[in-house]
Amino acid sequence: MSWAAALALLDVPLSSVFTGWIDYIGANWDQFLTLLRGHLVMVGIGELLAILIAVPAGILATRDPRLARIIENLGAVAQTIPALGVIALTFTFLGLGKRPTILAITIYALFPILKNTVAGIQNVEEADVRAGRGMGMTNVQRLRRIELPLALPVIFAGIRTSTVLCVGVAYIGVFVGAGGLGTWIQAGLTTVNYDVMLAGAIPGALTVIAFDRGFSVLEGMVTPEGVSRDTTEGGAAA
């Protein structure tokens, strides 16, 4: 079995993979809950801030092509800044702990949401927009009644992508004392204890899967009836 061979090369004992990390979580249940909660709080707040910034910014971008270029470039640049760099640059004035981590998460989460908001609205048929204008809808009515409902599934796909990314970003919070599941990874690394390392890593991976599935269901719920559910175009933002 090749994966077993790979693990052997990495010098990871099989016992860690199968039972060790579960035992470790069981033995440190209260701490686990604290770390997991801390992790999710950071992701939740960071993501929420990102949505609050990126969705309006995306809508704004679709109103004016020049603005669109500026906003999309800013979003793209934001994603190229290493998350660790954001933390290193900002903890001096945001202080240690969760705040610089949340900022890093927000910056990272912006781009997929922004990109999908723009794509979702731009994908609305030109004819629909013209029909709306011709029938006497104001700009706001057109946005609220036509463009946003039709774009919502695509916007949601962006939120899903960015949330999944941010569960990973939150791990680095440990370097500025933000807590979260990264705490155990770091502890495991310094003591070369695979049980501890995996006890930090695997719950994160499972969280990602759970979020991905959960959002997929939500996406289905926000897809208006009558619209075939196809978010593949804008869904692959990141």
Partner 1 sequence: MIELDNVRKVYGDGTVAVDDVSLEVPEGETVTLVGPSGCGKTTTMTMVNRLTEITEGDVRIDGESIQDTDVIDLRRNIGYVIQEIGLFEHMTIAENISIVPDLRGWDEERKQERVEELLELIQLPQDVKTQYPANLSGGQRQRVGVARAMAAEPDIILMDEPFGALDPITRDELQDEFLDIQQKLDTTIMFVTHDIDEALKMGDRVAVLRDGELVQYDAPKDLLGSPKNEFVANFIGEDRVLKQLSAVTVREVMNAPQVGEGAGENPLSPDDSLKVALQRIFQQGDPLPVVEDGEVVGQVSEADIQAVTDRRTSEVLQ
Residues forming contacts to partner 1 in the complex (CB under 8 A) are 125, 127-128, 130-138, 141, 145-146, 149-150, 224-228
- Is 1 or 135 the residue whose CB approaches partner 1 more closely? 135
Nearer to partner 1, 54 or 150 (CB): 150
Sign, CA dihedral 104-234-227-144, equals: positive
Minimum distance of partner 1 from residue 129's CB (angstroms): 8
Q: How far is the CB of 224 from partner 1 (least distance, A)?
A: 3
Q: Which is nearest to 202 in space by CA: 22, 44, 13?
A: 22
Q: How far is the CB of 36 from partner 1 (least distance, A)?
A: 38
User: Residue 48 has which token pair?
Assistant: 């929420």
Report how far residue 194's alpha carbon sits from residue 43's, in angstroms, rounded to the nearest whole number. 25
Residues with Cβ < 8 Å from 191, sequence gap 6 or more?
A: none
47 vs 147 by CB, closer to partner 1: 147
Measured in whole angstroms, the distance separating CA 133 from the mean position of its chain's CA atoms is 35
Nearer to partner 1, 96 or 129 (CB): 129
Closest separation between CB of residue 147 and partner 1, Å? 10
